[in-house]
Chain A
Amino acid sequence: MKKHILILFSILLLAASLIYGQSQNEGYTAIKGAHIIPVVGEDIPVGTILIKDKLIEAVGKDIVIPASARIVDGTGLYAYPGMIDSFCFLSLSEISSIPATIDYRETGRINPQVRSVEALRPDSMHIPITRSNGITAALVVPSGGLIAGQSGLIRLTGWTPGEMVIKSPVAMHVEFPSLGRRGFQREQEPREEASKQVIELKDWLNKARFYQKRKQAAAKNMLLQMPEFDEKLEFLHPVVNGELPLMISVHADKDIRAAIKFVQEEKIKAIFFGMTQGWKVAEEIAKAGIPVVFGSLYDMPPSWEDGYDALYRNPAALQKAGVKIAFSSQSASLAKDLPYHAAKAAAFGLEKREALKAVTINPAEILGVADIMGSLEKGKLANIVLANGDILELRTTISRVFIDGQEIDFSSRYTELLDKYKPRLKQKK
């Protein structure tokens, strides 16, 4: 009897799991008839994207669609890979003037131990607005001090922080000391002080190397003393081992030169961020092979002598010199504007296709996730945006968004509040 109950229970469990699985939208989905822009590979004027579970199963003109597939009509729409924001505070910041809602900045100057993904708030009101505009993944970063901490890449959906994280850590974040003039608004940092900070940064890396060597030596030889546990040095290991890139915020041309020298001397992997005067040293950056993530282009030029359009033409200058570039929103509340930073650069000399790459495949490559996202290709996560036009264009309407094969709902703070107050229009006076 007991055996029978066990069998029955197992069958029930199996059935339940099957039903549950289906309700999770597993199986095939086919987006039919869309103009596909895979970003990697040729555009397909009318084609099909076949999704199986979380992944893209096939992309092409003549794809055989399984009978069981759910069909999404893409006629008249353009299909793009989901965009990736390469530097933002989504899920770490709600209302910028209220410290209680800000979790991307730690006190102190040296914080390699902090991880942005451990402060994620899945219910952030900025996430639904951002993903409704076709952004499906974002690098969420710590900020402040000399070593700010570790960033992580998140998908813009999920009930828990764990469900959101795609990859962590992605980079260790460093604010490079400014040797020269930083900007017309900011105070000038004395040159000596800045040089000291570069030395300090190098010191930390050296200490981390030494600490690691002592640990390894002690592990082999019982007679050697284990070094005292050091939280900061522990988390610098992957950086000095060349496993984890440093994302270095650096702006002025002199500082960029110093940062290139620093990266080469330390033999570490690096990504540059900000780079508002990058165009002045474009060749050197290209030669060093360091990729660049731009901050928000919604800013004034770092110096008037650079020209009113310095930030706008900067991405084109770097891209044409051969630097791998990506854009970022550098925001939480306006992370939705990511495509328009790319378009602004396109208005000032960047080719439109390069602008598109700089919010899709380039960030995927720079952040080390090109095997799973950044383009519409077989085997990648089904992060897909359907729109009635160019997704970098302001007037375009985003029609549907899929993250990991799941269609997301467009309701957001915008729609909720508007729906709440719309009935007032019909109210009798």
Chain B
Amino acid sequence: MKKMIFVFSFILILSFSASPLWPGGNLLIKNGTILTVTKGVIPRGDVLIIGGIIKQIGENIQAPPGVQVIDASGKFVLPGIIDSHTHIALSGTNETGDVITAEVDMADVLDAEDLSIFTALSGGVTMVHTMHGSANPIGGRNVTIKLKRARPSEELVVRQAYPTLKFALGENPKQANRIGTTGPPRYPLSRMGVNAIIRRELLRARTYMSQWDRYNELRKSKNPPKTLLPPRRDLRLETLAELLRGNLVARCHTYRADETLEFINLSKEFGFKIACFEHIPEAYKIVPELVREGVGISIFLDNWAYKVEAAEGIAPMAAYCAQNGILVSINSDGAERTRRLFNDAAKAIKYGGLSEEEALKLVTLNPAIQLGVEKIAGSLEVGKHGDVAIFNEHPLSAYTRCEMTIIEGDICFDRSQYLSEREEAAKRQKEPKKG
């Protein structure tokens, strides 16, 4: 009987832990200027979120009983900003112990306590693709997370997003800017070597796959040989096999136009999919090729000239590429820029004349498409997740400020609450200590 109770309670615990720990909030945002991004602007509208999902967008929506109402009068309501390429909320970025490290997974080193999550939220960011660094030609798996502050790290992961693998070309993997430092040189030291080492590993993966195929075939045969042994498992090559099978997509850090074209050639040689090119300051040089391949780009708006391969990355590129049929997103690459991505988006109006809606897409819908989450995020539409940012002025104004960030109907950043808490804390500090 005791055993029965134990088993029963065990099942009970298990079933509880299987239920969602983040049930999603209920909120009604009232009377804001609603920038839906995909369905125009509602000058004075409401957004109703129930159970974390947008249930209704329109005018004069009545709050169901018990639903908290946020007054957004005079404010701007937009979809939560998405950062397609950053390195926040991780306790490590580069595995520099080896040149090819496909086996590492950033989901293993998620740091839900990282204060950068809060800073990103303070800039209206709700979702980020947080990635392995660019030290290695093949880095590791990246992970897409929602910035649900103060939640366990497993809950942050966005399961709907593409599983992605980081590649890197050019100066970083060839260690161009470390010449003269101590330690023996590491292969590769040139763009030739970077390409060759990627090809080598993919050929290895192919061989590995065929070894397993042969083994499985023999094992299933009527009379498997008695000496049949499985091939040695190799986690590095298994990741690459997943890429070759199409279960993983490549996100490739690249700067120069020429090296980008070589990587496209590699993807054809091996038949894997490139989800997006990262940084790619010379994308404007190869617009026809990028359009033909249908590969998007995730770029800095104007950060440039910090190394030789970044010295031709020009600010008008975002608008130019977007206007000519490339899916463009603007990324931060780090904790500081992520909180002002909306400022970078506005610059695409200045440099190249994008419309306001197209400019906003650079940090909302376009990154969502690049991450494969456009069905749940990237715009304010009924049925999508209630991931919302509220700004005091138009988000593309230089004078704007994020007031509130909401993820799945729960308020994750509230500037007015933050300020009153800070005031309280300051008062407490000033009070003389008793005793």
Contact = CB atoms under 8 A, between A and B. Distances in A.
Q: Do A and B bind each other?
A: yes
Contacts, number: 109
B399 A98 contact: no
Contact of B398 (A98, A393, A415, A429): A393
A397 B350 contact: yes
Contacts of B398: 339-340, 343-344, 346-347, 392-395
The secondary structure that dominates the A interface is loop
Contacts of B320: 418
Given A346-B399, A393-B398, A95 B288 contact: no
Interface string A404-429: 00000000011101100100110101
B308 A425 contact: no
A334 B349 contact: no
Interface stretch (A146-154, A267-275, A303-311): A303-311
A298 B288 contact: no
Contact of A394 (B284, B307, B317, B347): B347
B208 interface: no
A94 B314 CA distance: 14
A300 B418 CA distance: 17
B114 to A, nearest CB: 12
A307 B426 CA distance: 12
Nearest to A133: B350
A129 B311 CA distance: 13
B362 to A, nearest CB: 13
Interface stretch (B94-102, B115-123, B258-266, B377-385): B115-123
B288 A395 contact: no
B175 to A, nearest CB: 12
A298 B284 contact: no
Contacts of A129: 315
A310 to B, nearest CB: 11
A343 B342 CA distance: 14
Contacts of A396: 350
A70 interface: no
Contacts of B302: 334, 336-337
Given A333-B305, A347-B398, A418-B320, A394 B350 contact: yes
B305 A417 contact: no
Nearest to B317: A418
Interface in A311-369: 332-334, 336-337, 339-340, 343-344, 346-348, 352
A285 to B, nearest CB: 20
B343 A394 contact: yes
B312 A417 contact: yes
A97 interface: yes
Given A95-B311, A298-B337, A395-B396, A334 B119 contact: no
B306 interface: yes
B122 A421 contact: no
A96 interface: yes
Interface in B401-433: 401, 418, 422
A126 interface: yes
B336 A425 contact: no
Contact of B346 (A95, A394, A397, A413): A394
A299 interface: yes
B340 interface: yes
A429 B287 CA distance: 12
B2 to A, nearest CB: 50
Contacts of B337: 298
B151 interface: no
Given A126-B305, A300-B336, A309 B115 contact: no
B92 interface: no
Given A394-B343, A395-B349, A298 B306 contact: no
Interface residues of B, number: 45
B306 A418 contact: no
Contact of B314 (A352, A417, A425, A427): A417
Pick the most buried of A95, A343, A394, A418: most chain B CB atoms within 10 A of its CB: A394
A304 B285 CA distance: 42
A314 to B, nearest CB: 15
A417 B343 contact: no
B177 interface: yes
Nearest to B349: A395
Q: Which of B310, B315, B316, B398 has the most CB atoms of chain A within a 10 A radius of its CB?
A: B398
A304 B308 CA distance: 34
Contacts of A417: 284, 312, 314
A233 B401 CA distance: 49
B119 A308 contact: yes
Contact of A308 (B122, B177, B316, B397): B122
Contact of A98 (B119, B307, B340, B396): B307
Given A95-B307, A96-B306, A393 B316 contact: no
A427 B346 CA distance: 31
A347 B422 contact: no
Interface string A184-227: 00000000000000000000000000000000000000000000
B288 A427 contact: yes
Contacts of A392: 398-399
B195 interface: no
Nearest to B320: A418
B351 interface: yes
B403 to A, nearest CB: 11
Interface string B347-366: 10111000000000000000
B400 A347 contact: yes
Contacts of A413: 312, 314
A337 B351 CA distance: 13
Nearest to B425: A305
A97 B349 CA distance: 29
A418 B305 contact: no
B289 to A, nearest CB: 9
B341 to A, nearest CB: 12
Given A95-B308, A307-B422, A343 B288 contact: no
Nearest to B292: A429
Interface of B: 115, 118-119, 122, 177, 284-285, 287-288, 302-308, 310-312, 314-317, 320, 324, 335-337, 339-340, 343, 346-347, 349-351, 393, 396-401, 418, 422
8 contacts: A94-B311, A95-B311, A300-B335, A340-B343, A392-B398, A413-B312, A417-B284, A417-B314
Which 9 residue pairs are nearest across A and B when measured between Cβ atoms? A343-B398, A394-B346, A333-B305, A394-B398, A97-B307, A414-B314, A347-B401, A308-B122, A395-B349
Interface of A: 94-98, 125-126, 129, 298-300, 304, 307-309, 332-334, 336-337, 339-340, 343-344, 346-348, 352, 392-397, 413-415, 417-418, 421, 424-425, 427, 429
Given A96-B305, A300-B335, A307-B422, 16 more contacts: A94-B311, A125-B311, A299-B336, A300-B119, A300-B336, A308-B119, A333-B306, A344-B398, A346-B398, A348-B401, A394-B346, A394-B397, A395-B398, A397-B350, A414-B351, A427-B288
